[in-house]
Amino acid sequence: MGDTTTLDVRGMTCPLPVLKANKALRGLAPGARLAVLATDPAAVKDFQAYAEETGHALLEWAEEDGAFRFLLQRRATP
């Protein structure tokens, strides 16, 4: 289903991972996917809340070796 853009925000703390992801999503086409790599444990709740508030889909998230990977899909424009 097309390419996925990757955003590496490892080492950054709240609120920077979500702010940088928001900026990256604005530059993508509706339906495009963004993978975000983060190390801040607060990012889990932050991205869940971000998806609820914006309508972008949090398709999945996983944690491995202290790093988190979030897969977001940009919402379709209304």
- Mind telling me the catalytic residues? 14
- In a 3-state reduction of DSSP, which class is residue 73? strand
Task: Give the dihedral of Cα atoms 20, 25, 28, 30; nearest 10 deg.
Answer: 180
The rounded distance, in Å, linking the Cα atoms of 73 and 13 is 22
